[in-house]
Structure 1
Amino acid sequence: MDVNEIKALMSLLDDPDPEIQVQIRNRIVQEGRWMIPFLTEELESQSDDLNSSILIQDIVRDIQVKGLSQEMSDWLESEEKDLLKGASIIARYEYPEIDETEIRSFIGKIRQDVWLELNESLTAFEQIKVLNIVFFDEYGFSGNKDEYHHSENSFINKVIENRRGNPLLLSILYMSVAHQLEIPIKGVNLPNHFLVAYMDEHGIARKIEGNDDDVLFYINPFSRGAILHRAEIDTFLSHLDLKPAPRFYKPCSHEDMIRRMVNNLIHSYQKSGDRMKVEELSGLLPKIAS
């Protein structure tokens, strides 16, 4: 489609025939995200026409939601299910202009700063101590306890910008740095919380404590990387009146993490009264259902 065809489509957006309007709208949405700059330009030229402005904004929203759905389908079909990519896809729901390469570059910078302080003689606990110093002290990440349910806590670009987030997003960033350093940690999907587990690659905990979780210890990124053990998770579950279950101690999948991210956003928008976003994101959940 060339520029003249695009201009012709734009000129038909305010056609008095509703059927033509629907056809034009569907055609533009089908073209996808590359149409958004042209729609934005048209929006600026129609700033005095409230009805046209609302229509164009709705079309842009439809394009973004359709793009998000397709990207998520592609991500789910991918073999690696890259966690940073999954988080970036969700962030584009609210911030379509974000650059995933900038996010990866930022993670790479943290990774480099941690790597400079590591050596092969460090124990697992010492590795995490180094990671914590760089991640929390030098880069200033922390849990957003004051605005725990704010939607920004679930968007990776905003968590990087604000240096504050919820347990899940802090864990995703923390894990992403660790993975680049080949530190064996994975996410643990607790009710009302999220932790990461340092995996027991050498079977130490299995031999000493007799547990079969293949986890050496747990880490709480929301509390500046505090080290936890199974007994503390038992206590946490007890406070929630929940019985211990294997899924509360074992690593979860990347799909589980992205699903929880979407659910967290739905909860945020429910609290803020944004029904449209609740409906849009609820429509995405079946794609990443268990």
Structure 2
Amino acid sequence: MTAAPDTSPERLALLLRLLDDDSPPVRASVEAALSAYDGDVSELLGGLQIVLGEPEQELLSLMLLPARRERLRREWVVPAGGAGAVLDDWDQFEALLRSLSDYLHDGVTLRQPLGDALDLLAEELEDIGTQEGAAGLNRALFESGRFKANFREEDEPDNYDLGHVLAGNPSNAFGLGLVFLFVAHRLDIDVEGVSLPQSFLCRFHDEGQVVLTEPAMKGRTITSEDLAHRIRRYPREVRAMVARPATPGELLVRVVEELATSWSVRGETEDAELMEELLATLVKAPF
């Protein structure tokens, strides 16, 4: 019978003392031992009286990354029907996003799990949602400046890490839109996502009127004329996307596709190939 690996705080403390030893045998031994921690030592590290500098944190995160990749593969459970089977299953969509969030996390810094962070935000905004509906949520999330757009690095992988975004960091149009959708879903408020290339809009009813807002632009309202002008050069199939809400399955495919592209343009081949591997479970090739 194989003995369980030692994942005690004492063992971690010993491994951390070896981080500055860059000899290949020691480095390989430390990385192998760290794999037992499943890619995340943040909670244990928080309890140790050890202060790591930024270079040490980056090195530790890098050494934990292979285990995070394997954890994502293990947790990525998609129905046989792929994205079509996810359809309107927001719970499964969130579960898969949580696995992606854990993979994108550095495994070193403490932060709330994705589900807990969404629960707390929804609880905080519950009164506003009850009294003012989706328009109130739009104001509280975006018009207030609480969640900001990352225009400088719109393809940065962290934009798709909702745990990172909910910790107060900026995101792109898609990441901000997902925050709106998940909070509204928790509060039983009808908000739809409109998925467009390099953009994402949210649609809801306010005082009997259909309202389109753009989370990345501080939740500003988009008129039907503005939208028609924006999409006039898109192919017909893309323009048709405006007429219906994006399903959780479609949103999941977009997250994985954009992460695959993001890693690819950065030359991070192993992570890009991992996203292509996940994408193959959602849609039939070619993508």
TM over 0.5: yes
Equivalent in the alignment of 2:5: 6
1:187/1:195 contact within 8 Å kept: yes
Separation in structure 1 between the aligned mates of residue 193 and residue 221 of structure 2, nearest angstrom: 14
Name the amino acid aligned to 1:261: V
Change (3 A) 1:53 1:248: farther
Separation in structure 2 between the aligned mates of residue 218 and residue 62 of structure 1, nearest angstrom: 41
Matched, 1:80 2:80: no
The match for 1:260 among 236, 254, 260 is: 254
Tell which has more relative contact order, 1 or 2 (C-alpha 8 A, sep 6+). 2
The root-mean-square deviation of aligned C-alpha atoms, in Å, is 3.5
The match for 1:217 among 208, 211, 215 is: 211
Q: Deviation at 1:229?
A: 4.3
Q: How does 1:7-86 map to 2 (within 5 A)?
A: 43-44=15-16, 46-47=18-19, 48=21, 49-54=23-28, 57=31, 59=35, 60-73=64-77, 80-82=89-91, 83-86=93-96
The match for 2:270 among 247, 255, 276 is: 276
Matched, 1:132 2:138: yes
The match for 1:286 among 280, 284, 287 is: 280
Matched, 1:160 2:166: yes
How many residues end up aligned between the 2 structures? 241
Q: Aligned to 2:76, what secondary structure does the other structure show?
A: helix
Q: Deviation at 1:171?
A: 0.8
The match for 1:247 among 236, 241, 257 is: 241
The match for 1:91 among 98, 101, 104 is: 101
Q: Deviation at 1:36?
A: 10
Separation in structure 1 between the aligned mates of residue 68 and residue 11 of structure 2, nearest angstrom: 12
Change (3 A) 1:40 1:188: farther
2:118/2:183 contact within 8 Å kept: no
Equivalent in the alignment of 2:60: none
2:128/2:136 contact within 8 Å kept: yes
Percentage of identical aligned residues: 17
Separation in structure 1 between the aligned mates of residue 166 and residue 261 of structure 2, nearest angstrom: 21
1:85/1:100 contact within 8 Å kept: no
Q: Aligned to 2:252, what secondary structure does the other structure show?
A: helix
Q: Deviation at 1:141?
A: 1.0
Change (3 A) 1:100 1:149: closer
Separation in structure 2 between the aligned mates of residue 249 and residue 230 of structure 1, nearest angstrom: 12
Name the amino acid aligned to 2:5: I
1:144/1:166 contact within 8 Å kept: yes
Separation in structure 2 between the aligned mates of residue 39 and residue 151 of structure 1, nearest angstrom: 31
The match for 1:233 among 227, 231, 244 is: 227
Change (3 A) 1:136 1:163: farther
Change (3 A) 1:229 1:40: farther
Q: How does 1:124-203 map to 2 (within 5 A)?
A: 127-138=133-144, 140-198=146-204
2:78/2:282 contact within 8 Å kept: no
Whose Rg is larger? 1
Separation in structure 2 between the aligned mates of residue 241 and residue 74 of structure 1, nearest angstrom: 31
Q: Aligned to 1:148, what secondary structure does the other structure show?
A: coil
* Structure 1: gaps of 5 or more residues: 8-34, 120-126, 206-215
1:154/1:265 contact within 8 Å kept: yes
Name the amino acid aligned to 1:6: P
Separation in structure 2 between the aligned mates of residue 39 and residue 288 of structure 1, nearest angstrom: 39
1:115-174: per-residue Cα shift (whole Å, max 9, x none)?
A: 36x16xxxxxxx343222211255611211122222221111211223411111111111
1:107/1:173 contact within 8 Å kept: no
Q: How does 1:97-136 map to 2 (within 5 A)?
A: 99-115=113-129, 118=131, 127-136=133-142
Q: Deviation at 1:236?
A: 1.4
1:196-243: per-residue Cα shift (whole Å, max 9, x none)?
A: 22269xxx78xxxxxxxxxx33221111222224443332122x4433
2:173/2:198 contact within 8 Å kept: no
Q: Aligned to 2:183, what secondary structure does the other structure show?
A: helix
Q: Deviation at 1:38?
A: 9.4
Q: Deviation at 1:91?
A: 0.8
* Structure 2: gaps of 5 or more residues: 36-63
Separation in structure 1 between the aligned mates of residue 185 and residue 90 of structure 2, nearest angstrom: 14
